[in-house]
Structure 1
Amino acid sequence: MSQQNTLSARLRTLIDTVQQNERALQRFQQIEVRLISADDFPSFLDALVSDLARAFELSVVTLWLDERAPHVGELLHAEPGHVLDARHLRGGRAEALGKDLPWPPRARRAPWLGQPAELAPPLRAAFFDPADEPQSVAVLAIEGGEGVCGYLCMGSADPGRFAAGMATDLLQRFAIFVSAGLVNVAHRERLRQEGVTDPLTGLPNRRYFDARLHEEVQRAARIGAPSACLFIDIDSFKHINDTFGHGVGDRALIAVAACIRRSVRLGETVARYGGEEFVALVQGDTQQALVVAERVRAAVEALTVLDDTAEPLKLTVSIGVAAQVMKPDGPPACDVASALIEAADAAMYRAKRAGRNRVECEVASESGKT
C-alpha cells in the first residue's frame, strides 16, 4: 500500500509538472506572437518587458544590447520618449563583458540561472539597476545573426525561483523567438529610418520634419504653448560647389548639419530640408528661439572645414526665425504648420538681403499669412 501511495504521489507530481509546463508554454507562446509581429521597437520592448514580467510574476526584466551589433545596436538610440524606462533597456560593448560572462569560452550558451551575487560585479552593474536588483535571475544569450548581440535578464524577488540545475528547455526555446523578433524589428526600424533620413548628413529629411512639425503644432495647441521654427541656409553655397567641387560641398553640409545638431537642445528636431537648407523645430517663444538661432549662427561661423588643399573654408549661415503661441481653438494644424515654416523661410531671405551671416525674425499669423 505504501509503495502504491508513493507511485501515486510521483504520478501526481509528474502530472502537475506537465500541466505547469503546458501553462508556461502557453504564456510564452502568447508573448512570442507579439514579439514576432511587433511593427516597431517600442512595441517589441513592451511585449518583452511588460508582458513577460506580468505573465511570470517577475520583479524585473532587462534587455541588454551590444551597441556594436549590426542593426540591433542602433535600437539603443531610438527616438527620445519612444521606448520604455531606461532601467529595462541597457547596453554597451560586448567585449567589456567577455571575461565576466558566466559561460566558458566557446561553450554553448544555455540560460544561466542563479543569484546576482554569483555574477561578477561588472555584469551585475551592466544588467541591472541597483534599485531593481532581484534575488534570483535567468540570463539568456540573444543571437543576432552574427553571434550574440545581447542578453535578456529575467529577475525574481524569490531567491529560489531561478537556480542552477533547473530545466531550461522552455527558456532556450523562448530565447530563439526573442532573437528572431529582435532581428526582425531591427530591420524594420532600419528601413523606416532610411525612409525619413538624409543619407549624406544622417539628419531626418523634409518628409520627417513636416510630419514632426504637424505633431508639435497639435501638441502645443492642446496646452496653449509656443512653438518656433528656424530656417537655416548656408551662405554662398553654390560658390563653394563651383569653386571647390561637390566633394568639399558635401563635407561642408555634413559639418554644418552636425554643428546645428549640437547647438540645439536634446530632443529638439533638426532636419535637412533640401539642398543647403536646414530646419530646426524648437520649443519656446520668439526670444528663446532667437537665442538658439544666434547660438547656431555663431557655432557655424566658428567651424573649421578644410578644402582639398587643406585650406580652411569660411562658412556662415543666414537664419530665419518664426514663433507662435498655439491655441486649442485655432486654425487646423496643417495650416498653422505651413504658416510657421513659410514665416521662417521669409525671415531667412530677409537675413540674406541684409548681408548674410545673421538672424532675422518673422511673426507667423494664425490665418496662415505672414
Structure 2
Amino acid sequence: MTNLAQTPLSDRLRALVDTVQHNERTLRRFQNVELCLIGAQDFASFLATLFDHLPQEFALASVSIWLDERTPILRDLLDPGALRALNQRNLKTGREGGSAAARLCETGRPWLGRVSEMDEPAQTALFDAAALPASAIVLPLAAGGQLSGYLCLGSQDAGRFGEGMATDILERFASIVTASLDNVAHRERLKQLGMTDPLTGLSNRRYFDERLREEIQRAARYSLPVACLFIDVDCFKRINDTYGHLTGDRALAAVAACVRQQVRLGDTLARYGGEEFAALLQGDRSDALIAAERVRHAVELLELQDDEGARIALTVSIGVTARVIRGGAHQAAELGQALLEEADRAMYQAKNNGRNRVEVFEGGAAKPHEADAGLV
C-alpha cells in the first residue's frame, strides 16, 4: 500500500482520535461541574454552580433555570421570601416561563437553535432582554415522569446550538441537575424540620439560640443595639385543662401567627418552649417596647373560639430587654445568654404584676411599662 493510499485513512484516524480526546475532556469538565452540583449543601450553592461555575467552564453567555413552584418538593425552596433573599434574576418561576419552555420542548425533547427563531414571549421569559444570546438549548428537567423545570444554556456563537447537534451529554447533564435539585430540596427540608416547630411553623429554640449568637457577634463588631422579647401565654395550663389540649394547640398556633404579624420580617421569632416565645429584634429599647406593646395588644384582640363557639380570652405577658453590644465576638454566647435571662426576668415580673402587660429590664431589675395610645 502506498503512502498516498494511507494518507486519507491516517487523517480519518487522527480526526477520530482528536474527537474522542475532545469528548473525553468535555465529559471530564461536565463531571467536575456535576460533582459540585451533587455536593451542594444548600440551594444557594446549587445555583452558584449553575450560574457562575458552569458558564465559566464552557464559555456560555447565559444560564437560566425555570422551576415549577407547584412541584411539592420545591415549594419551600421557591417560597417568595426565600426567592427575595436569593436575589437571582436567572432563576425563573413564573407561569410564563414554564409555558414558553413547554412550547419549545412540546415533545419532551430538548429544543436548540437560534434565539431569534424563538417567539418574543419565550425570549422574554427565558433570557435577559438586554443581552440575548445568539443560540441556545432548552433542556427539560424531569425524573420519574415528573417535570420540575427547564435548564436553558445560551451562547454568543450562533452555530453552537443547532439542528443536528448531538445532545446526549447535555441530556445526561440535565438528569444530574434534576437529581441534584431533588437532593438540595430534601436537605433544605430536613434542615427546616430540624429548626422549625411543627405546631406553630416558627423557628425552634435550637435555631433561635444559633441566630442569637450570630446577631450578638454582628452587633459586637459595630457596637449596635440588640433587643429581646420573652413572651409567655397567660394562664395556658387553665386553657388546656378547661378546653383540652387540641384547643390549647390552636391557641398556641393563633398566638404564634399573631406575634409573627407584629414583628418585622427580618426579626427572629421562635417558639422557645411550651407556651413561651422569644423574639430577637434589631433596634434599641424604644423599638422593642413599641413592638412588645403591639404584640400584647394584638393578642388581646384575638378571636379564638371553643367547640361551642364561645370566645376564649388570650393574653400574654412580655419581658423586654435591650442593650448596645460591646465586647469581642468570643463573648457572644455569654452576652446572648445574659440578654435572654434579662428578658425572662422581666417577663416573670410582668406575670407577678398582674399579667397582660409589658415589663422592661433596667439595670438589675424589671420595671413596668405603661401602654399609651401611641404604642398600640
What is the TM-score with the length of structure 1 in the denominator?
A: 0.86
Report the Cα offset of residue 330 of structure 1: 7.4
User: Offset of 1:146 from its aligned partner?
Assistant: 5.6
Q: 2-side partners of 1:57 and 1:218: how far apart?
A: 40
Q: Does 1:155 align with 2:157?
A: no
Indicate whether 1:199 and 2:198 are aligned. yes
Other-structure match for 2:175:
176
Does the CA-based 8 Å contact 1:112-1:139 persist in structure 2?
A: yes
Tell me what 1:302 maps to.
301
Q: Match of 1:22, SS?
A: helix
What's the secondary structure of 1:76's corresponding residue? coil
Q: Deviations over 1:10-55 (max 9, x none)?
A: 7666555444333221111001111112222222222222111110
Counterpart amino acid of residue 318 in structure 1: S
> Is 1:222 aligned to 2:224, yes or no?
no
**Is the CA contact 2:133–2:154 (under 8 Å) kept in the aligned structure 1?**
yes
* Structure 1 unaligned spans of 5+: 366-370
- Alpha-carbon distance, 1:255 to partner: 1.6
**Counterparts of 1:330 and 1:364, CA distance in 2:** 23
**Residue correspondence of structure 1 range 313-352 to structure 2 within 5 A:** 313-329=312-328, 332-352=331-351
Runs of 4 or more, structure 1, over 6 Å off, are: 1-12
Larger CA deviation: 152-161 vs 219-228? 152-161
Aligned residue for 1:358?
357
For residues 302 and 142 of structure 2, what CA distance do their matches in structure 1 show? 43
Rounded to whole Å, the distance in 2 between the matches of 1:51 and 1:17 is 24
Deviates more, 1:356-365 or 1:273-282: 356-365
Do the aligned residues in 1 keep the contact of 2:137 with 2:152 (CA within 8 Å)? yes
How far apart are residue 9 of structure 1 and its match?
7.1
How many Å separate the matches in 1 of 2:326 and 2:253? Answer: 37
Residue matched to 1:66: 68
Amino acid at match of 2:32: Q
The 1-side partners of 2:82 and 2:92 are apart by 14
> Is 1:210 the equivalent of 2:209?
yes
CA distance in 2, matches of 1:219, 1:4: 73
Counterpart code for 1:189: E
Instruction: Name the count of aligned residue pairs.
Output: 362
How many Å apart are 1:132 and its aligned residue? 5.4
- Which of 24, 27, 37 is equivalent to 1:22? 24
Bigger Cα displacement from structure 2, 64-73 vs 46-55: 64-73
CA distance 1:95–1:117, change in 2 (3 Å): closer
Conservation of the 8 A alpha-carbon contact between 1:111 and 1:171: no
> After alignment, is 323-332 or 230-239 more displaced?
323-332
Name 1:282's counterpart in structure 2: 281
Identical pairs, percent: 55
Q: Taking structure 1 as reference, are residues 199 and 13 closer, same or farther at Cα in structure 2, changes over 3 Å only?
A: same
The alignment partner of 2:137 has SS state of: strand
The equivalent of 1:368 in structure 2 is none
CA deviations over 1:260-305 (Å, ceiling 9, x no partner)? 2222222221111011111111111111122222222232223222
1: CA distance between counterparts of 2:40 and 2:236? 43
Q: Give distance in 2, aligned partners of 1:249 and 1:141.
A: 47
Other structure's SS at 2:239 match: helix
Which residue number corresponds to residue 254 of structure 2? 255
CA gap of 1:101–1:263, structure 2 versus 1, over 3 A, is farther
Counterpart code for 1:68: R
Residue in structure 2 matching 1:34, options 36, 39, 43:
36
Residue 233 of structure 2 aligns with an amino acid whose one-letter code is I
SS at structure 1 position matched to 2:133: coil
Q: Is 1:97 the counterpart of 2:99 in the alignment? A: yes
> Do the aligned residues in 2 keep the contact of 1:65 with 1:149 (CA within 8 Å)?
yes
Describe the shift of the 1:138–1:298 C-alpha distance in structure 2 as closer, same or farther (beyond 3 A). farther
* Aligned residues of 1:65 and 1:73 also touching (Cα < 8 A): no
Instruction: Measure, in 2, the Cα distance between the counterparts of 1:99 and 1:57.
Output: 23
**What displacement does 1:148 show?**
0.8
TM normalised by structure 2 equals 0.85
The CA distance in 1 between the partners of 2:127 and 2:357, in whole Å, is: 49
Q: After alignment, is 285-294 or 207-216 more displaced?
A: 285-294
Q: Name 1:49's counterpart in structure 2.
A: 51
Cross-structure match for 2:272: 273
Residues of 2 paired with 1:153 and 1:30: CA distance? 19
Report if the CA contact (8 A) 1:115-1:162 is conserved. Answer: yes
CA distance in 1, matches of 2:322, 2:83: 24
Distance in 1 between residues matched to 2:363 and 2:13, nearest whole Å: 78
Larger radius of gyration: 2
RMSD: 3.1
Instruction: Give CA deviations for 1:221-247 in whole Å, capped at 9, x if unaligned.
Output: 112211111111112222211111111
1:42–1:99: structure 2 CA closer, same or farther, 3 Å change rule? Answer: closer
Residue of structure 2 equivalent to 1:111? 110
Work out whether residues 101 and 150 of structure 2, in 8 Å CA contact, stay in contact via their aligned partners in 1: no
Instruction: Output the CA distance in 2 between the equivalents of 1:243 and 1:260.
Output: 24
Report the secondary structure of 1:227's partner residue: strand
